[in-house]
Amino acid sequence: MTASLIAIASGKGGVGKTFLAIALAQSFARLRQRTLLLDGDLGLANIDVQLGLQPKGDLLSVVTGRMNMADAVSAFDGGAGGGGFDVMAGRSGSGALRSLPARDVHLLGQSIKMTAARYDRTVVDLGAGLDTTMLDIAAFCGQVLVVLTDEPTSLTDAYAFIKVISQRPGAPALAVVVNMARDEREAQRTYAALERACIKFLGFAPPLAGIVRGDPRVRDAIRAQTPYLTRSPAGTAVAGIGKLAATIDTVFAERSAHPHLAARAQ
């Protein structure tokens, strides 16, 4: 398969981006796709902590030229269920990557692309908010999953993210994931509210890529620094994640995922 770069974004913090990024990376790996999980949360990187990994290097050491991308990735062993993948850690709390000059953001993008070319899949976990650097990274990934929950603030923040990114030149393909859903119907309602706002004010709406149920065991897995899919194979969120990983390419291929094409079609 050709290399694909998918960023996970949301606007609002704490909606499950990092959880989904890890779970998706593991799902792709279980589908026998060579996968890299890259921590692109430039302010509060914590993928290595959630996985209990001691990273060899991190994104900052790459950007500052102290390490090359290939040396800075660490292997994460998927354990008995398979699904090992590589991880490019971030540097939590340093803040150094947040205020990168435009030229360095471009270089960062280029080195991410070069590294991603060696994998079938690269999943990039982004930070919350609408930082310019974060939006730049989201845009050059080409495909962005926007995560929301049933909280009203999550809806407005997801809308704001979609609005801002879709109005940039070279806007990426967009699709939506409803996370922490109580059930299918509630999740459909949550998506429908976002869809209505997007169509009314932006003239297009990104398609729904998947629904992931809420499960208290997600929190337990993070606390245990073990991936959820490994720790809770029968958990209520497992099916939604598997389906998302299996169908994501079809969803991103839809016309409505592409802001410019979709807006013109309305």
Ligand X SMILES: Nc1ncnc2c1ncn2[C@@H]1O[C@H](COP(=O)(O)OP(=O)(O)OP(=O)(O)O)[C@@H](O)[C@H]1O
Residues forming contacts to ligand X in the complex (CB under 6 A) are: 10, 13-19, 41, 44, 127-128, 179-180, 212, 214-215, 218-219, 222, 237
Distance in Å, CB of 72 to ligand X, minimum: 21
* Nearer to ligand X (CB atom), residue 221 or residue 262: 221
Distance CA(87)–CA(57), nearest Å, equals 10
Of 128 and 137, the one with the shorter C-beta distance to ligand X is 128
CB burial class (10 A; 0-12, 13-18, 19+) of residue 259? buried
What is the Cα–Cα distance from 135 to 126, expressed in whole angstroms? 9
Choose from Mg ion, ligand X, none: what does 212 bind? Cβ within 5-8 Å by kind.
ligand X
**Of the two residues 1 and 234, which places its CB atom closer to ligand X in the complex?**
234
Q: What is the dihedral of CA 247, 236, 48, 97, to 10 degrees?
A: 60
Query: How far from 234 is each of 129, 147, 215, 228, 242, CA to CA, in Å?
Result: 33, 23, 11, 10, 12
The distance of closest approach from Cβ of residue 127 to ligand X in the complex, given in angstroms and rounded to an integer, is: 6
- Could you tell me which residues come within 8 angstroms of residue 132 by beta carbon, excluding any fewer than 6 positions away? none
Q: Which is nearer to Mg ion, 18 or 27 (CB)?
A: 18
Residues 8-37 that bind Mg ion (CB under 5 A): 17-18
Residue number with the shortest CB distance to Mg ion? 18
Restricting to residues 138-197, which ones interact with Mg ion according to CB under 5 A? none
Q: Considering the complex, what minimum distance in angstroms separates the CB of residue 241 from ligand X?
A: 9
Smallest distance, Mg ion to C-beta of residue 219, A:
14
Under 8 Å between Cβ of 69 and 62: yes
Task: Compute φ and ψ for 103, nearest 5 degrees.
Answer: -65, -40
* 10 touches, from Mg ion, ligand X, none (C-beta below 5 to 8 Å by class): ligand X
Contact 173, 143 (CB under 8 A): yes
Q: Least Å distance between CB 178 and ligand X?
A: 10
Q: Write down the least CB distance from residue 36 to ligand X, Å.
A: 18
Residues 6+ apart with CB under 8 A from 63: 97, 100, 104, 107, 108, 111
Residue 13 contact partner, candidates ligand X, Mg ion, none, CB within 5 to 8 A by sort of partner? ligand X
Would strands 208-213 and 173-181 be described as parallel, antiparallel, or unpaired? parallel
> CB-wise, 13 or 79, nearer to ligand X?
13
Amino acid of residue 145? L
CB of 18 to Mg ion, least distance (A): 3
Number of residues that bind Mg ion (CB under 5 A): 2
Between 42 and 69, CB nearer to ligand X: 42
- Among residues 18 and 111, whose Cβ is nearest to Mg ion? 18
Contacts with Mg ion, residue ranges (CB under 5 A)? 17-18
